[in-house]
Protein backbone atom coordinates (compact mmCIF):
# COMPACT_ATOMS: atom_id res chain seq x y z
CA UNK A 1 0.00 0.00 0.00
CA UNK A 2 1.05 3.55 -0.54
CA UNK A 3 2.08 5.61 2.46
CA UNK A 4 -0.61 8.26 1.77
CA UNK A 5 -3.27 5.57 1.80
CA UNK A 6 -1.93 4.33 5.11
CA UNK A 7 -2.09 7.81 6.60
CA UNK A 8 -5.63 8.36 5.38
CA UNK A 9 -6.90 5.02 6.63
CA UNK A 10 -5.12 5.33 9.97
CA UNK A 11 -3.68 1.76 9.70
CA UNK A 12 -0.44 0.87 11.50
CA UNK A 13 2.51 -0.89 9.86
CA UNK A 14 1.88 -4.02 11.93
CA UNK A 15 -1.61 -4.32 10.51
CA UNK A 16 -0.27 -3.78 6.98
CA UNK A 17 2.24 -6.57 7.60
CA UNK A 18 -0.54 -8.83 8.87
CA UNK A 19 -2.68 -8.09 5.77
CA UNK A 20 0.26 -8.87 3.50
CA UNK A 21 0.80 -12.13 5.35
CA UNK A 22 -2.88 -12.97 4.92
CA UNK A 23 -2.64 -12.11 1.24
CA UNK A 24 0.33 -14.47 0.82
CA UNK A 25 -1.51 -17.18 2.67
CA UNK A 26 -4.49 -16.74 0.35
CA UNK A 27 -2.25 -16.98 -2.69
CA UNK A 28 -0.84 -20.28 -1.43
CA UNK A 29 -4.27 -21.74 -0.71
CA UNK A 30 -6.25 -20.43 -3.69
CA UNK A 31 -7.80 -23.75 -4.52
CA UNK A 32 -9.34 -24.30 -1.13
CA UNK A 33 -12.68 -22.54 -0.72
CA UNK A 34 -12.79 -22.92 3.04
CA UNK A 35 -9.56 -21.04 3.65
CA UNK A 36 -10.36 -18.39 1.09
CA UNK A 37 -13.64 -17.46 2.74
CA UNK A 38 -12.11 -17.31 6.18
CA UNK A 39 -9.09 -15.33 5.06
CA UNK A 40 -11.27 -12.70 3.39
CA UNK A 41 -13.24 -12.34 6.56
CA UNK A 42 -10.11 -11.93 8.66
CA UNK A 43 -8.68 -9.43 6.22
CA UNK A 44 -11.87 -7.38 6.17
CA UNK A 45 -12.12 -7.54 9.95
CA UNK A 46 -8.54 -6.33 10.30
CA UNK A 47 -9.16 -3.43 7.89
CA UNK A 48 -12.38 -2.28 9.48
CA UNK A 49 -11.34 -2.49 13.13
CA UNK A 50 -9.69 0.93 13.21
CA UNK A 51 -11.23 2.27 10.05
CA UNK A 52 -14.61 2.70 11.71
CA UNK A 53 -16.38 5.98 11.17
CA UNK A 54 -15.39 8.48 13.81
CA UNK A 55 -18.29 10.33 15.31
CA UNK A 56 -18.44 13.89 14.17
CA UNK A 57 -19.05 16.68 16.58
CA UNK A 58 -22.72 17.17 17.11
CA UNK A 59 -24.17 20.23 15.46
CA UNK A 60 -25.49 22.90 17.76
CA UNK A 61 -29.15 23.63 17.70
CA UNK A 62 -30.33 26.92 16.12
CA UNK A 63 -31.51 28.07 19.55
CA UNK A 64 -27.90 28.12 20.77
CA UNK A 65 -26.91 30.40 17.91
CA UNK A 66 -29.92 32.64 18.59
CA UNK A 67 -29.10 33.02 22.30
CA UNK A 68 -25.40 33.65 21.63
CA UNK A 69 -26.29 36.23 18.97
CA UNK A 70 -28.79 37.93 21.28
CA UNK A 71 -26.28 38.18 24.13
CA UNK A 72 -23.58 39.46 21.77
CA UNK A 73 -26.00 42.05 20.36
CA UNK A 74 -26.95 43.32 23.82
CA UNK A 75 -23.30 43.60 24.84
CA UNK A 76 -22.36 45.44 21.64
CA UNK A 77 -25.34 47.80 22.04
CA UNK A 78 -24.34 48.59 25.62
CA UNK A 79 -20.75 49.24 24.56
CA UNK A 80 -21.82 51.58 21.75
CA UNK A 81 -24.27 53.41 24.03
CA UNK A 82 -21.59 53.85 26.69
CA UNK A 83 -19.08 55.07 24.10
CA UNK A 84 -21.54 57.60 22.65
CA UNK A 85 -22.54 58.91 26.09
CA UNK A 86 -18.86 59.35 27.01
CA UNK A 87 -18.29 61.27 23.79
CA UNK A 88 -21.29 63.49 24.50
CA UNK A 89 -20.12 64.18 28.06
CA UNK A 90 -16.66 65.04 26.80
CA UNK A 91 -17.91 67.34 24.04
CA UNK A 92 -20.42 69.33 26.13
CA UNK A 93 -18.87 72.02 28.32
CA UNK A 94 -19.49 71.75 32.03
CA UNK A 95 -21.06 74.67 33.87
CA UNK A 96 -18.21 74.62 36.39
CA UNK A 97 -15.60 74.91 33.64
CA UNK A 98 -17.26 77.90 31.98
CA UNK A 99 -16.94 81.02 34.13
CA UNK A 100 -20.17 82.87 34.65
CA UNK A 101 -19.97 86.46 33.53
CA UNK A 102 -22.09 88.90 35.48
CA UNK A 103 -23.03 92.19 33.94
CA UNK A 104 -21.09 95.12 35.35
CA UNK A 105 -24.31 96.83 36.47
CA UNK A 106 -25.24 93.91 38.69
CA UNK A 107 -21.82 93.57 40.29
CA UNK A 108 -21.42 97.19 41.37
CA UNK A 109 -24.98 98.34 41.95
CA UNK A 110 -27.67 97.37 44.37
CA UNK A 111 -31.20 96.64 43.34
CA UNK A 112 -32.97 99.87 42.46
CA UNK A 113 -36.67 100.26 42.15
CA UNK A 114 -37.72 102.73 39.50
CA UNK A 115 -41.38 103.72 39.90
CA UNK A 116 -43.60 103.89 36.86
CA UNK A 117 -44.49 107.24 35.41
CA UNK A 118 -47.91 107.95 36.91
CA UNK A 119 -48.39 111.23 35.09
CA UNK A 120 -49.74 109.46 31.99
CA UNK A 121 -53.01 107.63 32.40
CA UNK A 122 -52.91 103.96 31.41
CA UNK A 123 -55.87 102.82 29.37
CA UNK A 124 -57.56 99.64 30.57
CA UNK A 125 -58.18 97.03 27.92
CA UNK A 126 -61.62 97.33 26.37
CA UNK A 127 -63.65 94.20 26.86
CA UNK A 128 -66.42 93.60 24.41
CA UNK A 129 -68.84 90.73 24.42
CA UNK A 130 -69.91 88.69 21.45
CA UNK A 131 -72.81 86.32 21.34
CA UNK A 132 -72.43 82.83 19.90
CA UNK A 133 -75.10 80.20 19.27
CA UNK A 134 -73.96 76.62 20.00
CA UNK A 135 -74.15 74.25 17.02
CA UNK A 136 -74.06 70.47 16.80
CA UNK A 137 -70.58 69.10 17.64
CA UNK A 138 -69.41 72.26 19.46
CA UNK A 139 -67.50 72.00 22.70
CA UNK A 140 -66.32 74.79 24.93
CA UNK A 141 -62.74 74.01 23.88
CA UNK A 142 -63.56 74.28 20.16
CA UNK A 143 -65.38 77.59 20.79
CA UNK A 144 -62.31 78.95 22.66
CA UNK A 145 -60.08 77.94 19.74
CA UNK A 146 -62.48 79.54 17.24
CA UNK A 147 -62.58 82.92 19.05
CA UNK A 148 -59.11 83.16 20.59
CA UNK A 149 -56.99 81.17 18.11
CA UNK A 150 -55.61 78.66 20.62
CA UNK A 151 -56.78 76.76 23.67
CA UNK A 152 -56.30 78.47 27.02
CA UNK A 153 -57.90 77.29 30.26
CA UNK A 154 -58.15 80.91 31.47
CA UNK A 155 -60.33 81.72 28.47
CA UNK A 156 -62.56 78.73 29.25
CA UNK A 157 -62.95 80.05 32.79
CA UNK A 158 -63.82 83.54 31.44
CA UNK A 159 -66.59 82.10 29.25
CA UNK A 160 -67.88 80.01 32.17
CA UNK A 161 -68.02 83.07 34.45
CA UNK A 162 -69.68 85.26 31.80
CA UNK A 163 -72.39 82.64 31.22
CA UNK A 164 -72.60 81.44 34.86
CA UNK A 165 -71.98 77.82 33.80
CA UNK A 166 -71.35 75.17 36.47
CA UNK A 167 -70.39 72.42 34.00
CA UNK A 168 -68.43 73.34 30.85
CA UNK A 169 -69.50 70.07 29.21
CA UNK A 170 -73.23 70.80 29.55
CA UNK A 171 -73.76 72.64 26.27
CA UNK A 172 -77.00 72.28 24.33
CA UNK A 173 -77.62 72.97 20.65
CA UNK A 174 -79.08 76.46 20.14
CA UNK A 175 -77.76 77.75 23.49
CA UNK A 176 -76.58 81.38 23.38
CA UNK A 177 -73.14 82.02 24.88
CA UNK A 178 -71.57 85.35 25.74
CA UNK A 179 -67.90 85.39 24.69
CA UNK A 180 -65.76 88.14 26.29
CA UNK A 181 -63.25 89.42 23.69
CA UNK A 182 -60.43 91.89 24.45
CA UNK A 183 -59.85 94.51 21.78
Domain ranges of the chain: 3-51, 127-182
Q: Residue 57 phi/psi, 5° resolution?
A: -65, 140
pLDDT of res. 78: 96
Architecture of domain 127-182: Roll (3.10)
Taking residues 21-31, what's their average pLDDT? 79
- Measured between alpha carbons, how far is 158 from 165 in angstroms, rounded to an integer? 10
Lowest-pLDDT choice from 92-101, 141-150, 162-171: 92-101
Partners of 127 in the beta sheet? 182
pLDDT, residue 116, reads 65
* Verdict on whether the full-model pTM lies above 0.85: no
pLDDT of residue 82: 94
Q: Half-sphere exposure (CA, 13 Å, Cβ side) for 154?
A: 3
pLDDT of residue 170 exceeding 90: no
Amino acid sequence: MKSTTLRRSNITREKVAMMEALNRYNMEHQGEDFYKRQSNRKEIDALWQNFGIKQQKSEKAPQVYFVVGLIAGVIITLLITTFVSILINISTPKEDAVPKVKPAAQENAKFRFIPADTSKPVAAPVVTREEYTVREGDTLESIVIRFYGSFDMNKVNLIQEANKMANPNALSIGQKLIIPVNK
